[in-house]
Chains A and B, each alone.
Chain A
Amino acid sequence: MVRSVIDVLDLSTKELEEIIAVAQDIIAKPDDYADACKRKKLATLFFEPSTRTRLSFEAAMYELGGNVISVSSADSSSAMKGESVADTVKTVSCYADIIAMRHPKEGAALVASKAAGIPVINAGDGGHCHPTQTLADLLTIYREKGRFSDLTVGLCGDLKFGRTVHSLINALTRYNNVRFVLISPEELKVPSYVKRDVLKEKGYSYIQTTNLESYMPELDILYMTRVQRERFFNEEDYLRLKDSYILTPDKLKNAKKDLSILHPLPRVNEIAVAIDDDPRACYFKQVKNGKYMRMSLILKLLKEAGRI
């Protein structure tokens, strides 16, 4: 079966190093990659609203000299007519060399990868996985800190439904001496299976708290998240919890000088705009890094599939 990436853990740490090295090389010498995917087509199949991830994939493919064909809404596609994911991707495989797919159902990307016959990159399957966001996070951490080990990482906001948080925890627990500070309201705590099966199982220390400020001085990384309206069945719960943590310049008073503030974006109001000019704010760099990691991943998968 052709190699696809559904979960960030599908990539070994060695492969991750390679992807990061290629991404760094693309940043340093973009012209060397300008024709790397010439005459190749990426199909972006987005069955759930998304702007930034789709644009990032499309920009990535264009910068590699490739082309893009796109479905940007479930309403306009055959999914509305009741076509299965498997049939959709089998059809798309006849036109494209690689697929990036977002779908509201968990596991949809795995179903697509089994049927496609060309590489599939999971661009988000419901609340399950979003591996290329984690790749963006990892490149940002690497470029800011130069390492993945010996870090204190604060994760703040919606730690229950936030798939990027779970993926990042999974990815970082493959490195030594990473300490996690899990900051969330009671209702949005990291699920117990993540604590049990990932953190405790692998022997990682973590602190669970509702108080961001008291742990701020210890953090090397602060990963802020948005409380996502679309993950709630109940609007009342969303409204009650959405403003739980708002990062303001005042709250950064006791933070380390070399703290890196990350956010998978989009933000609503959880990071004050005033922080954007703070050198510790890395979330727009993170967006750019996401594009480079997607370029690197597209290259890797097309090479492995023998298409370039």
Chain B
Amino acid sequence: MNIDAIRNGIVIDHIKAGMGMRLYDLLHLDKLDVSVAIIKNVSSRKMGKKDIIKIDADIPVDLDIVAYVDPDATINIIKDGNVEKRTLHLPERLVGAIRCKNPRCITTTEQELEHVFKLTDRQNKVYRCIYCETKAENLK
């Protein structure tokens, strides 16, 4: 894979250094049968260090998850060499992206219940399970 020249694909740039792998996991990029590059600790004038993920295929990526992991990341969607930038917004709800870790939560016993979190504090990026109100892991 030539990570510098994607003609059709997605580049998630300006990911806070250290969060690239977490994003890779949450987006389930390991399941993809296409080339994916994670570049860690890239020098950045703005950020000092950053991570980058490049996906060499035009596939749908859940931008809500990207925004949850790092709302300051930038998204470039590349089609036939043309770059389209997308802006990220913290989603009001995260559905099926992360799991509730409270052992007393109903999601631990109802196997087919979707794990849903709602944004309860935008400023501090706090998400809580809609069932038991347990706070989601803070990724900051």
Contacts and interface: CB of A to CB of B under 8 A. Distances in A.
A68 interface: no
A104 B112 CA distance: 18
A126 interface: yes
A105 B107 CA distance: 9
Interface string B35-72: 00000000000000000000000000000000000000
B129 A107 contact: yes
Given A111-B131, A128-B132, A193-B135, A106 B110 contact: no
B106 A103 contact: yes
B110 A111 contact: yes
B105 interface: yes
B105 A107 contact: yes
Given A84-B112, A110-B130, A105 B106 contact: yes
B106 A127 contact: no
B113 interface: yes
A128 B131 CA distance: 9
Contact of B104 (A111, A127, A197): A127
A86 interface: yes
A74 B108 CA distance: 17
A84 B104 contact: no
Contacts of A127: 104
A105 B108 CA distance: 9
B135 A106 contact: no
Contact of A106 (B112, B113, B131): B131
Interface residues on A, range: 10 to 19
A128 B110 contact: no
Contact of A126 (B104, B107, B113): B104
Contact of B132 (A107, A193, A197): A107
A301 interface: no
Contacts of B132: 106-107, 126, 128
Interface residues on B, range: 20 to 34
A88 B79 CA distance: 49
A127 B104 CA distance: 8
B102 A86 contact: no
A105 B105 contact: yes
A120 interface: no
A268 B10 CA distance: 62
B96 to A, nearest CB: 16
Interface string B94-117: 000000001011111111110000
B133 interface: yes
Contacts of B104: 104-106, 126-127
A259 B110 CA distance: 45
Nearest to B111: A84
Interface in B111-140: 111-113, 120-121, 129-135
B135 A85 contact: no
A94 to B, nearest CB: 20
Given A84-B112, A128-B133, A106 B121 contact: no
Interface in A110-126: 110-111, 125-126
Contact of A85 (B102, B110, B134): B110
Contacts of A106: 102, 104-106, 131-134
A97 B108 CA distance: 29
Interface in A80-107: 84-86, 103-107
Contacts of B120: 197
Contacts of B110: 84-86, 111
Contact of A110 (B102, B109, B131): B131
A212 interface: no
Contacts of B130: 107, 110
A85 B105 CA distance: 13
Residue in A105, A111, A125, A126 with the greatest tally of chain B CB atoms within 10 Å: A105
Contacts of B105: 105-107
A108 interface: yes
20 contacts: A84-B110, A84-B113, A86-B110, A103-B106, A105-B108, A106-B104, A106-B132, A106-B133, A107-B105, A107-B106, A107-B107, A107-B129, A107-B131, A108-B106, A110-B106, A111-B113, A128-B133, A193-B135, A197-B120, A197-B121
